[in-house]
Amino acid sequence: MRLFSVKPTLTIKGRKFKGIRGWSGKPTHPPLTDIPIGAYVLAAVFDLLSVVVGEGETGRNLFVAATYVMLGGLIVSIPTAITGLVDWKTSTPKGTQAWRTANTHMAIMLTTTAVVVLDLVLRWSDFDTSLATPISIMVLTLLIGGAVALGATYGGTLVYDYEFNVEQDRGYAWEESETDYLPGEKPDKPGQHA
């Protein structure tokens, strides 16, 4: 029995190109979300540790690390927000539960991004002099970490509960077989789904 299937996941052959939204089965928005979410949560951890450790070399290094991680998250938030907005505009029927959930997700994430900008402005004003994360910035960063986790929960609901923008498998990937099929290929085994 084969243990691994590699090629079907990595290929774009046979997938419909959807512009900025990506390819069918390979959307652009979801993988981009991982970076800001991870960055904002890590920044919160670094800031918390900086306050706990206190002023000194380690506290300063943690503050600096949190600042650059937060900045990296903000930079990637831009294409993440653009691709999410395009998904929302082109794929979400108004008046549905999915639309309302997408609106909630978008509102939380855009608000979080605005708070990140504020956080970074405050950081840069103290950047050269802070020997540890100031308490006010730590509180703001913890708020950002919690808000991004909440917003991600709504985004996950869209995908995992509502199957938003998920290209459904035709069934053959779940049938016992030694054959891997690429997107757009039809299974040739009698009884398999086409």
Question: How confident is the model over 53-63, as a mean pLDDT?
Answer: 95
Is there a contact between 113 and 147 (Cβ–Cβ < 8 Å)? Answer: no
Mean pLDDT over the full length of the chain = 89
Segment among 23-37, 128-142, 149-163, 165-179 with least mean pLDDT: 165-179
Could you write out the three-class secondary structure of 8-27?
HHHCCCCCCECHHHEECCEE
Token couple for 95 = 């008046």
pLDDT of residue 187: 67
What is the residue-wise DSSP string for 64-125?
HHHHHHHHHHHHHHHHHHHHHHHHHHHH--TTSHHHHHHHHHHHHHHHHHHHHHHHHHHHHH
pTM value? 0.84
Residue 184: closest CA among 14, 12, 31, 67:
14
